[in-house]
Amino acid sequence: MTDPVISMVFITTLMCLLLVYIFRKSYQSWDEQNWMMKSILRTIAFGAIVFTLLSLIVIIFPPELN
């Protein structure tokens, strides 16, 4: 089994993504955002996607510990 911290962080990330998806109608539309907010949102989205993929890789193929 993998480290429980990685699993908990992965589950928390999925919950955050789910909450953003559920409440997406409450936010301003993409065209109403200024350039700085668009940059911040892109960075957060990219980081969440990369972290989710890396967490899946670690969970599916756990590193061998000696």
Token output for 66 = 């000696």
Query: Is 65 a member of any domain?
Result: no
Query: Is 29 a member of any domain?
Result: yes
At 65, is the pLDDT very low, low, confident or very high (cuts 50, 70, 90)? low
In the chain the first and final C-alpha atoms are separated, in Å, by 14
pLDDT 10s digits, 22-59: 777 766 677 777 888 788 878 888 888 888 788 778 77
pLDDT 10s digits, 11-28: 887 887 787 777 777 666
Query: Is 66 a member of any domain?
Result: no
At 64, is the pLDDT very low, low, confident or very high (cuts 50, 70, 90)? confident
Structural domain span for residue 30: 4-60
Query: Is 53 a member of any domain?
Result: yes
Can you give the pTM of this predicted structure? 0.55
Token output for 33 = 């955002």
Query: Is 24 a member of any domain?
Result: yes
Please state, in angstroms and rounded to a whole number, the distance separating the CA atoms of residues 63 and 66: 10
Total domain count for the chain? 1
Token output for 22 = 């559920």
